[in-house]
Amino acid sequence: MQIPRFAVRVGLALGGTLVLVAVLHTLATSRTYQLFGRLVAHVPRATPIVALTFDDGPTEGPLDSLLATLAAHEVRATFFVTGRELAAAPHAARRLVQAGHELGNHTYSHRHMVLRSPRTIRREIETTDSLIRVAGYPGPIYFRPPYGTKLLGLPWYLARHHRTSVTWDVEPDSYREVSQSAEGIVRHVLARVGPGSIILLHPWYRSRATSLAAVGPLLDSLQARGYRVVPLRELLGE
């Protein structure tokens, strides 16, 4: 039986649309590639050096515990903070800066930054930059897209403003079966970490209690294996 021509055309169109959607989704969610500008997910290193990064926040609740743990291990970390939470807890941000940690930009509202207007992208980033400076942070402000998603408008803005996007190559608490325990998080990291890795954790919320609990044991384990944990600026050699 001969297939009608219009049915062939419809099938080809649908097939092409599905391929295009798959390509766009791959580009939007890639941890290692974006269409414009500089993106870093891992830094090739010959020596055992890694960066520990924290997303979201800051909030007052876990702050004392987190700062004490990092200080006890003599570790400086990089915190990708949201503008909305910075505005709600400016004292927490100042304490992070005073303790020698880096602040990065994780947008103001933590919405997906795909299919957003240029005005929205600019506002989300620049408002958060301003709040980071108000907190007293003087260093380079790296950017991390919420959920790691980006496509056209966001990378274009970042490239035009010479901004570095930083993702990650180790993300233990992104997996429910891993994040059920602090021990599971530590095991996951140790099985995947290597020189130049960028580790991502979310320690700020009650739902992420195991991530907060994992920070101390994770640092113990990394340091026992000879790793030095540094801020992103040092890992990037800047």
Which are the catalytic amino acids?
55, 202
Residue 196's region, left for phi above 0, alpha for psi from -120 to 50, else beta, is left
Burial (Cβ within 10 Å: 0-12, 13-18, ≥19) of residue 90: middle
**Residue 81 host element (H or E):** strand 78-81
**Tokens standing for residue 166:** 């930083």
Cβ pair 106, 150 in contact under 8 A: no
CA atoms of 78 and 170, how far apart (whole Å): 15
Cβ pair 219, 182 in contact under 8 A: no
Tokens 């240029």 identify what position? 118
Question: How many CB atoms neighbour CB 223 within 10 A?
Answer: 15
User: Is 50 strand, coil or helix?
Assistant: strand
**Tokens standing for residue 139:** 């260093």
